[in-house]
Amino acid sequence: MSPAAAREPLKLGFFTHVRSSSGRAEAHEELVRLFVGAERLGFDVGFVAQHLLADGEEGSTPSPLISLAPVAVSTERIGLGVSVVTLPVTDPVQLAEDALTLDAISRGRLELGLGTGNANIDRYPAFGHDGARATELFDENLAVLQAALAGHPLRGTGLTLPVDGTPLLHRLWRTPGSVASARRAALTGVGALYGTATLDARTRQRPIIDAYLSQWAETGPSQAPAEVAGSLRPRLGAIRMIYPSDSYETALAELAPFVRAGRTRLAKANGTDPGELDDDEVLASMNVKTGSPRQTARALRDDVALLPEADYLIAVTNVIEDAEAGSGGKRAVDAALRGLERIAAEVAPELGWTPKK
């Protein structure tokens, strides 16, 4: 949050990849159950990842706006977030129509995240696009999307979308992975979600935050549609792996399968021997906040890329799901809701969050 802006209460969210080995039908039934349960716990928003051309183990929501429609009619208050639509391979006018439809169904609860989808770059050709042009295509499509949502004529025609005001333009996000893209986020007036692909808080995330806020302070959202530029404000959402347990030692034992998989990935990425990384180093490299609830809250308070700037703290569910799957193979949503309940009851209040009634 900009230091000059009026301080609003911290909002609490979750982020899910909607992974499933039981098929998309069950995955979407469980997605509804996750949102309904999180709403009862007082969570402000839930974000769903997009996975293109993926199997269920990676993610079951190639079309997250469609996936969130049944969630919209099964909930009343919780925000419906997408993190993120791969904008370079998506027609922005069709996206605007779909987003406006979901926003109407949910009565104004959509939080629309946009990105280049680095994890999907190698899949661009299947959609008729060149991954080398990802940044260029993103900027072009964002301009068209914002113009469409503002009710401007579409691509040189006299046609416009039947927009009811411009509220959705206040709920757009992007996931900047660099200082340059953070500055573009500020210029275009969208919020910044960070913390998934850019794990290191001090060397990667802090510069993104500083660039975003400084650009906003210098120029404001000068490239946003004129209708909303004056009413937009900077928004920051920090995505974090959070796993509270009875103690740090207990957490390490419960997270063993997650740590083991993380060690293998890190060693491969760094070209090192997996045996050279101990558990603490693996968790630190992945920016996992764990331990007792008090230790977890302290780790979050000490995070240099979180408070006081972040407006949203967004907990990733897969670290919770993986821990329970490794120790008992229980249903992922049951595990996620137990973990989210502990975060909501014992961790987030230590950071100033209060559940929304």
| Amino acid of residue 104 | A
What pLDDT shows up at residue 66? Answer: 98
| Amino acid of residue 41 | L
Q: Pseudo-torsion of CA 199, 117, 216, 77, nearest 10°?
A: -90
What pLDDT shows up at residue 212? Answer: 99
Q: Pseudo-torsion of CA 146, 150, 152, 156, nearest 10°?
A: 10
What pLDDT shows up at residue 325? Answer: 62
DSSP letters, 77-108, are: SSEEEEEEEEGGGS-HHHHHHHHHHHHHHTTS
CATH code for the structural domain at 11-251+289-351: 3.20.20.30
- DSSP code at position 4: T
Q: Which residues pair with 173 in a beta bridge?
A: 113, 191
Q: Which helix (H) or strand (E) holds 284?
A: helix 279-285
Q: Pseudo-torsion of CA 200, 201, 206, 209, nearest 10°?
A: 100
* Low pLDDT (below 70) residues in the chain: 1-7, 56, 197-198, 325-330, 357
